[in-house]
């Protein structure tokens, strides 16, 4: 990576970044942009990502530089694979750990068989309602802005495709999963709806994006390691 030149980044690079827990996608993009500018003394360079990951999620973020930013919309449309865990027996307003638990549900009736059978209702084309705590816009305003103000908004259902959904581990109340899905799928909404299907509640307790199209997180690099590799020194703090 440190053999790449200024012209390489300006002409366009597709960087596979493994976004750390707690980082926003914007922070990851900003870090990469800062490192490239620092390395080559550039006043500006176009850098963007092809699909947001929430701060509480980790995993594959495709970051495009220079002329490759034109490929972002094409990359966003590719199928994605996620792994993670659902926590059964409780819901949160954000459908994940961003907000506190707001309701507790019984889980005594849930068996390993029902956990495995419930996924069958979520394969193929399904309808989802995106979480109120999301970056989708309604009337020019982000949904999470309405949610944080305590305002109720009507959110339209959207059709998404789940091409694979499997349960990988059961250690109640946690249930491990793997999902392959289309663009626009909210795994948080899937967690919430999965809880309903079990006559209980559920929220997303961890999430990792492992693939986007043919790109695999196993080939991705941590943004701090990207800095150390490109600049040839240990990472220092930077301004967002």
For 134-166, write each residue's pLDDT tens digit.
666 666 666 666 656 666 667 789 999 999 999
Residues 71 and 103 in one domain: no
Is 1 a domain residue?
Answer: no
Residues 136 and 202 in one domain: yes
Residues 94 and 191 in one domain: yes
Is 49 a domain residue?
Answer: yes
CA separation, residue 163 to residues 3, 62, 180 (Å): 39, 21, 6
Residues 133 and 86 in one domain: yes
Residues 23 and 137 in one domain: no
pLDDT attached to residue 191: 98
Residues 39 and 111 in one domain: no
Residues 71 and 87 in one domain: no
Q: How many domains does the chain have?
A: 2
The boundaries of the domain holding residue 145 are: 80-212
- What are the residues whose beta carbons fall under 8 Å from the beta carbon of 191, sequence distance 6 or more? 86, 95, 96, 202, 203, 204
Residues 67 and 103 in one domain: no
Q: Which of the following is catalytic: 8, 18, 54, 96?
A: 54
pLDDT in tens, 13-72: 999 999 999 999 999 999 999 999 999 999 999 999 999 999 999 999 999 999 999 999
Query: Is 222 a known active-site residue?
Result: no
Average pLDDT over the chain, rounded to an integer? 91
Give this prediction's pTM: 0.91
| CA–CA dist 151, 142 (Å, integer) | 12
pLDDT attached to residue 156: 84
């Amino acid at each position: 990576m440190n053999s790449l030149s200024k012209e390489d980044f300006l002409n366009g690079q597709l960087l596979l970044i493994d976004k750390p827990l707690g980082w926003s996608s914007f922070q990851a993009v900003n870090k990469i942009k800062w490192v490239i500018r620092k390395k080559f003394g550039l006043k500006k360079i176009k850098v963007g990502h092809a699909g947001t990951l929430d701060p509480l999620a980790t995993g594959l973020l495709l970051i495009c530089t220079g002329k490759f930013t034109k490929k972002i919309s094409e990359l966003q449309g590719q199928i994605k694979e996620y792994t993670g865990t659902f926590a059964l027996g409780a819901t949160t307003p954000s459908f994940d750990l961003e907000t506190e638990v707001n309701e507790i549900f019984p889980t005594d009736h849930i068996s390993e068989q029902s956990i495995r059978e419930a996924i069958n209702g979520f394969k193929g084309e399904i309808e989802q309602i995106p979480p109120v705590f999301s970056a989708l816009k309604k009337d020019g305003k982000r949904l999470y802005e309405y949610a944080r103000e305590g305002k109720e908004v009507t959110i339209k259902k959207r059709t998404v495709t789940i091409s694979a959904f499997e349960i990988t581990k059961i250690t109640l109340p946690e249930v491990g999963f793997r999902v392959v899905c289309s663009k626009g799928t909210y795994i948080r909404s899937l967690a919430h709806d999965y809880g309903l299907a079990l006559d209980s509640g559920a929220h997303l307790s961890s999430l990792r994006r492992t693939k986007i199209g043919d790109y695999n997180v196993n080939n991705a690099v941590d943004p701090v390691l990207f800095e150390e590799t490109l600049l040839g020194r240990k990472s220092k703090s930077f301004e967002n």
